[in-house]
Amino acid sequence: MATKLKPLNQQTIVITGATSGIGLATAKGAAKKGANVVLAARSGEDLDRIAEEIRSNGGKVAVVVADVGNVEDIERISQTAKTQFGGFDTWVNDAAASIWGRLEEVTHEDSRRMFDTNFWGVVYGSLEAVKHLKQHGGALINLGSVASDIAFPLQGMYSASKHAIKGFTDALRIELEEEKAPVSVTLIKPSAINTPFPQHAKNYMDKEPKLPPPVYQPEEVAVAILHAAAHPERDIYIGGGGKMMSSLNKNVPSFMDFVNEKVTMKLQARDEAPRNPAGSLHQPSYDGHVRGDHPGYVMSKSLYTRATIHPVLAGVAMAAVLGTTVLALQNGKDGKSKQ
């Protein structure tokens, strides 16, 4: 059964992790398009400042100070949406945390805390959202990652959490489709995104963490999220580079292992001392910024992503990615044969 979704200007959209990066970009974009927004995060100070900005531009917003790792807080988010706006039409699970460090160095406490946010926050949010959306229709949008498909060294536990999100989201989608529930379930898979994400991560390294390229601006993810809120999509990759890496990992995993070992390991640290090793894993860090300060080149748009969310251009996008993948595969085979 095809799921019909409302135009954005007729929607109420719930967004977790709304005070920074992708969540904040999505909140601003949704409000600009006329949607009511319900914003949730741990920092009440940042939430109040963002809400004031949205209201000053004519938007309608409600805020909830919440930790998505607590199911009671998730229930309060849902109840706030119902009290303030009569319910919601789209629920976006965006809140996330990360850890930079070798797996043998990371404490169990830190790993569990990250899974509370990344995985259980998505589980709690999804199941709470579905209770309402099954009755009224709408979209559930979960933020996975290219790390849902690929394991990145030095971000091993983060990759594991994103793999878990993909498994949960795909299974939930199938179950909802089997019972013909009027719910669209989308998994967004960003490549590296220029948000304050590295500074919020718990850092075990002796240098400041850095995102490996290719890197895209967070507004590009917001475009995809808001598209999925109004147009049913199974999944959306942000960035042709991320899609290519996923395809390579699927078809020649040993080659991607080699690339990650020899290249990616070296691209995840700046040549400077750590700024804030504790990050915001166990407590909120005051932020309110959409973009980070990635020191390398950042792409403002992804032609691949824009093409995939416009059916007429989808074929062109796939042809471009396939061509790039074939070329990379050939180079990988040639390189392997010369060793």
**DSSP output for 99-142:** EES-TTTS-HHHHHHHHIIIIIHHHHHHHHHHHHHHHH-EEEEE
Cβ contact 197:21 at 8 Å:
yes
Count of beta carbons in the 10 Å neighbourhood of residue 155: 24
Cβ contact 189:169 at 8 Å:
no
Count of beta carbons in the 10 Å neighbourhood of residue 320: 16
CA distance 318 to 190: 17
Cβ contact 151:159 at 8 Å:
yes
In degrees rounded to 5, what are phi and psi of residue 16?
-95, 160
Count of beta carbons in the 10 Å neighbourhood of residue 274: 18
Active site annotation includes 297: no
Residues 6+ apart with CB under 8 A from 40: 14, 15, 16, 17, 18, 47, 63, 64, 65, 66, 68, 73, 77, 95
Q: For residue 237, which of 287, 303, 179, 293 has the smallest C-alpha distance?
A: 303
Q: For residue 216, which of 93, 305, 339, 327 has the smallest C-alpha distance?
A: 305
Cβ contact 285:14 at 8 Å:
no
Q: Which amino acid is at 70?
A: N
* Both tokens assigned to 123: 């589980």
**DSSP output for 181-220:** -SEEEEEEEE-EE-SSHHHHSEE-SSS-B-PPSSEE-HHH
Would you give the DSSP letter of residue 10? G
* Element counts in the chain: helices (H) and strands (E): 12, 11
Q: Among 124, 158, 204, 304, which one carries the catalytic annotation?
A: 158
Locus of tokens 């809120």 = 229
- The residues assigned a catalytic role are 158
